[in-house]
Structure 1
Amino acid sequence: MDVLYTGCRWAEGPVWFPMMRSLLWSDIPNDRMLRWDETTGGVGVFRSPANYANGNTVDRQGRLVTCEHGGRRVTRTEHDGSVTVIVDRFDSGRLNSPNDVVVTSDGAVWFTDPTYGIDTDYEGQKAVSEQDGSHVYRVDPLGQVTRVLTDFIKPNGLAFSPDEKRLYVVDSGRTHVPDGPRHIRVFDVAEDWSLSGGDIFADNGNYDGLRVDTDGRVWTSATEAVHCYESDGVLLGEIVVGESVSNVCFGGAKRNRLFITATTSVYAVMLAVNGARTF
């Protein structure tokens, strides 16, 4: 396992940009985003301040989509560097603190909205929630915002299967509720993008962010390791990291390199599998 960088307070939201051969990620408490260059091995600041950015992804046009704790919004960085607000409110209230985000093949933006960024000033700005809970949302290609899941304590990481017929969502509610959830749930996705099901997929780790490979295996942060699950929920193995893992993503020319954000550092592991496209 390679150590690409160390010196963060809480590294999160890794995202791979093929065109730049670079990895971007968030260092939330330090209010910055960093970039690792595969061609040189160098690391520099991509954005600072960064509105306490958390989760990131790439849309189908190659643009950066970011969850911002500080702005309590989801934004898109255009090719010219300007920032477009995708969503910052639902009904009459501001969002809590968008956490993780994915873009589906139709161009819709799906994101989770727990309260971690407004609970304290450590990862954002302490504030009172203006929503009635922590939910999962979808912004369709026309900008219509819909709550798609409302029975979570603290929805966190989310990822679709390669065929987009399954949606995996982490509930890390144990951070706020004694004996609360710390599991991954799986939902069936219909052709109209409606969801059903919601059974527990895995329940043996403190999960946060997750991604899926081309064969449908789920790779997820799990306390101080990365767990790999078969699509039926069977644990296949783990990569022990040694510090609390927040998130993962696939990258490299063949998407067969797993990038791991873990508290202070960013790691990389070459794999014999390939990550599914996330855009």
Structure 2
Amino acid sequence: MGETGSVVAAEDPRFAEFFPPDAKLERIAEGFIWAEGPVWFDEIGELRFSDIPNNRIMAWTQEGGLRVFRQPAQSTNGHTRDRDGAMISCEHTGRCVSRTRMDGTYEVLATHWQGKRLNSPNDVVVKSDGSIWFTDPPYGIISDHEGIRAESEIGSNNVYRIDPDTGVVELVADDFDRPNGLAFSVDESVLYVADSGRARGHGFGTDDSRPHHVRALTVVDGRRLGTSQVVCEVDRVPDGLRVDTEDLLWVSAADGVHCFTPAGERLGRVRVPEVVANLTFGGPDRSRLFICGTSSIYAIDTTRCGAQWP
């Protein structure tokens, strides 16, 4: 895909130092309709990700290349891992959050809040106490492209927490337009949440009057969200995001991956030739950035290190 200089656009000189001199953006897999939700399995050297409209979860390794991990897959979107290494997934068609253990055991963790069915869980993170936090916009129910068209039973798009002891689904934020990607700061004192309200849905254009930013919400007592502020705005919309071990924020966007400080200063971006939906750090030392473009998976080496539990 070209030399580092052709894909790394630095607005601050520090950003150029985040990549080895010989780093290249590589297309490592292609042939998807809407690639999403990358998650890295270090112990087996495997990247898994969703191809939502094709209703499948894919798996890729450097040695073995690409394979189908699961199909059908309930139009799965975002993934992360819990403290036992199991894959936690957001399912559009199932309108649920699920767990797949390393031995293949599958279970549904959440389907409803206060007796009402979830919209279409989108992205998910796990906190160090084992609690599972996820966003629930309507993208899987506004059309049949990424799920099954349906009316929202809840009537709003919220952020939720699954209690690790009781399994109860708790509402933690209800003032988002369309909450999307999310990640904790390294010390878990802040939860970053992207609001992609500007995008009305796949194929439905944009509405400039609606949010296209990332917010930082303080975490109170480890289980509630307090004060909130906008960290950064992203052209078109932000989607998936990750934090590295120095609390820099890496945000997917229409024109690539943008990197921000916690104060909202944009340091630069990685240019990608397709709209970017999500990203994750992986590789043996979590320094390789894997990027979900629309129809392809890209990778580039960095000098950064992804947070252990993004």
SS in 2 for 1:277: coil
Aligned CA RMSD, in angstroms, stands at 1.1
Task: State the Cα deviation string for residues 113-150 of structure 1 (Å, max 9, x = none).
Answer: 00000100000111111112000000011212110000
CA distance in 1, matches of 2:256, 2:82: 28
Question: Match of 1:179?
Answer: 209
CA distance in 2, matches of 1:17, 1:44: 15
Task: Give the letter aligned to residue 278 of structure 1.
Answer: W
The aligned runs of 1:126-141 (5 Å cut-off) are 126-141=149-164
Task: Give how far 1:20 is off.
Answer: 1.2
The aligned runs of 1:49-68 (5 Å cut-off) are 49-68=72-91
Task: Give the letter aligned to residue 190 of structure 1.
Answer: V
CA distance in 2, matches of 1:194, 1:125: 31
CA distance in 2, matches of 1:192, 1:226: 29
Deviates more, 1:207-216 or 1:140-149: 140-149
Task: State the Cα deviation string for residues 21-77 of structure 1 (Å, max 9, x = none).
Answer: 00000000000011111233x100000000000000011101010000010000001
Question: Match of 2:189?
Answer: 165
Question: Match of 1:191?
Answer: 221
Deviates more, 1:175-184 or 1:144-153: 175-184
Task: Give the letter aligned to residue 117 of structure 1.
Answer: G
Contact conserved, 1:187 with 1:199, CA < 8 A, in 2? yes
Q: Pick from 236, 246, 257: which aligns with 2:267? A: 236
Task: Give how far 1:165 is off.
Answer: 0.8
Contact conserved, 1:117 with 1:126, CA < 8 A, in 2? yes
Alignment pair present for 1:12 and 2:43: no
CA distance in 1, matches of 2:189, 2:308: 14
Contact conserved, 1:228 with 1:235, CA < 8 A, in 2? yes
Alignment pair present for 1:98 and 2:127: no
Q: Pick from 108, 127, 137: which aligns with 1:85? A: 108
Q: Pick from 244, 265, 268: which aligns with 1:213? A: 244
SS in 2 for 1:174: coil
Question: Match of 2:281?
Answer: 250
Alignment pair present for 1:223 and 2:270: no
Paired residue total: 278
Task: State the Cα deviation string for residues 125-184 of structure 1 (Å, max 9, x = none).
Answer: 111111120000000112121100000010000000111011100111112355100100
Structure 1 unmatched runs, 5+: none
Task: Give the letter aligned to residue 222 of structure 1.
Answer: A
TM-score by length of 2: 0.88
SS in 1 for 2:44: coil
Question: Match of 2:292?
Answer: 261
Larger radius of gyration: 2
Following TM superposition, the consecutive aligned residue runs of length 4 or more in structure 1 with deviations greater than 4 angstroms are none
SS in 2 for 1:19: helix
Question: Match of 2:171?
Answer: 147
Deviates more, 1:167-176 or 1:98-107: 167-176
CA distance in 2, matches of 1:30, 1:196: 38
The aligned runs of 1:111-122 (5 Å cut-off) are 111-122=134-145
Structure 2 unmatched runs, 5+: 1-24, 201-206
Task: Give how far 1:190 is off.
Answer: 2.4
TM-score by length of 1: 0.97
Task: Give the letter aligned to residue 67 of structure 2.
Answer: G
